[in-house]
Amino acid sequence: MTDASVVFVTAFLATAVEAIEMITIVVAVGVTRGYRATLVGAAAGLVVLVVTVAIGGQAVAAVPIGPLRLVVGTLLLLFGLQWYRKGITRVAARGLAGYYGQDPPDEPIPPGFDWTAAFLAFKGVSLEGLEIAIIVVSFGGSAGQVGPAILGGTAALVVFGAIGFLLRGPLERVPRSFLQLVVGTLLVAFGTFWALEGLGVAWPQSDFDIVLLAIFYSIAAGAFILLERRPTQQTLEVAGS
Amino acid sequence: MSTVVRVVVGVAQFLYGYVVGDDLPLGLGMALAVVVTGWLVSVGVNAWWLVPAAAVLLTGLHLRSRARAAQG
């Protein structure tokens, strides 16, 4: 039997990778769309996860993650692309400075409950949470130390949840258009990664390819912004001459 | 229209707006890229590059057509 502390640390570290992905999505959606619906969606995702683990127990390790990743990843990819191109257009039109707190939402957040935010947070939490459950249950079960594995996974969620909460303030001061572009880029990167992994694609650098995808999409967004700004600047020069 | 139909239509409209948004060709293009990637993987080609390339290409086409439409 593996030592309990080793199981705890290993489960903590393994969970941390997935927890960072989960909390990145929740914080990003919360900052962009508001926290009320986002936290409701995240809480619903956690409830579904707890119920799934409670009912499924060891069977959760046998949930076919491939089809799940394909469906959720494709949805995130398509939705993320909407924010990605809207963010490009808006940042190209207005730049990054001078409109703090004045940026009207081009996709108005509906009065009442924001189902889009709740749905995004729900998907992020439930999918990443399911992966955490699979890691914890399968690793803890195979080591004969399910208790320490659950504690390690829970500790990682608490630690990285607190970090995400602390980052909330600085994130709220970032211009909304720019943040929409950043969130869109993240959603497209995560969506691409999950959808293709669900298809059976072998990513050359494994999970690190999420970072590389985000960099790739960021560079492309920067190029598009430069191209979008060029006609605007030419028009201004003609008008000013 | 009955309540059930209204709910079904509302959910369908929400899902369409959520998944496809304002650009149907882009959504269909990305869906096609995912399907083609699946086919390539099934025949032994590790086509991890196709969807990122398609996403950037289709976004570029979307932005260009939008700019042309704005110029009249």
Q: How many CB pairs under 8 A join A and B?
A: 82
Q: Which of B13, B16, B18, B36 to mutate to test the interface with A (most CBs of A within 10 A)?
A: B18
Give me the residues of B, 8-67, that contact A with CB < 8 A: 14, 18-23, 26-27, 30-31, 34, 37-38, 41-42, 46-48, 51-52, 55-56, 58-60, 62-63, 66-67
Residues across chain B: 72
Chain segment A22-43, per-residue pLDDT in tens: 887 888 888 778 888 888 888 8
Q: What is the pLDDT of residues A125-165, one digit of tens each?
A: 887 787 777 667 766 666 667 778 788 888 888 888 788 77
Q: Which residue of B has its CA nearest to A232?
A: B67
ipTM above threshold 0.90: no
- Name the residue type at position A168: R
Per-residue pLDDT reduced to its tens digit, A63-73? 577 777 788 78
B2-51 pLDDT per residue, tens: 777 877 787 677 677 767 777 888 989 999 999 999 999 999 999 999 99
Cβ neighbours of B71 in A, within 8 Å: 231
* Tally of CB atoms within 10 A around A191: 26
Alpha-carbon span A24 to A160, nearest angstrom? 9
In Å, what is the CA distance from B37 to each residue of A55, A61, A65, A78, B29?
35, 27, 18, 16, 12
Cβ pair B14:A115 closer than 8 A: yes
- pLDDT mean over A205-220: 91
Contact criterion met (CB below 8 Å) for A228 and A86: no
Which pLDDT does position A1 carry in this prediction?
A: 46
